[in-house]
Amino acid sequence: MMKKIYPRTGDTQTVYLNAVVKDPSIEVGDYTIYNDFVSNPLLFEQNNVLYHYPINHERLIIGKFCSIACGTKFLFNCANHTLKSLSTYTFPLFYEDWNLEKSNVSDAWDNKGDIIIGNDVWIGYEAIIMAGVHIGDGAIIATRAVVTKDIPPYTIVGGIPANPIRKRFSDDIIQKLEILKWWDWPIEKIHQKLPYILNGDISNLFDNRK
């Protein structure tokens, strides 16, 4: 886990996210960054992880080396008013007024599960990630996209709701990258192989994975 909060000297808008979050139900991998030029990035849990209440026991899991832009929002299950009822009004939440059982309060919404973000994912400005969504390694989420369904690895998506625009690489390269999982390498090895990563030299990188 990162102990250093700010990756760059003098830049207080960008933080290593797992040095900032305190909620044990939010897991963030090393070197994942969050940038916020509107609000204090130290308030990520308060400003960006929304409708995330203990009653649902839901988790936000974000991998390593992700880049999360200003204003990204993660909307959890309490934002999903149930569609099983004839009304979208959250009667069970206001059980006192309607003489309902307090134990049934979670019937007010549909629980779609955890939000899971892979490694090396780039999430653009003011994107919204909905409850239950899984985003694959290396994916890119465009500015202000609303992600309502799972995104495959190394896929660029955009729009409302977000739809695939294109894959970043060929299927063969994507398969190799998923095998390599360079983000799990020791930091010393990443430093050593960084020229190959930066230059897109997948063949050399793969041949020298040992």
Domain boundaries, the chain: 14-79+111-168, 170-210
* pLDDT above 80 for 25: yes
Q: What is the pLDDT of residues 47-83, one digit of tens each?
A: 999 999 988 899 999 999 999 999 999 999 999 999 9
Can you tell me the mean pLDDT for 148-155? 98
Please report the pLDDT score of residue 29 as a whole number: 98
Catalytic residues: 81
Which residue type does 180 have?
L
Q: What is the pLDDT of residues 101-133, one digit of tens each?
A: 999 999 999 999 999 999 999 999 999 999 999
Cα–Cα distances in angstroms (integers) from residue 16 to residues 6, 52, 151, 183, in the given order: 6, 21, 24, 15
* pLDDT above 60 for 207: no
Can you tell me the mean pLDDT for 23-35? 97
Please report the pLDDT score of residue 159 as a whole number: 98
* pLDDT above 60 for 210: no
Q: What's this model's pTM, rounded to 2 decimal places?
A: 0.93
Q: Would you say 124 and 144 are in contact if contact means Cβ atoms under 8 Å apart?
A: yes
Mean pLDDT of the chain: 94
Please report the pLDDT score of residue 203 as a whole number: 81
- Fold for the domain defined by 14-79+111-168: UDP N-Acetylglucosamine Acyltransferase; domain 1 (2.160.10)
Query: What sign has the CA pseudo-torsion 34, 38, 44, 45?
Result: negative
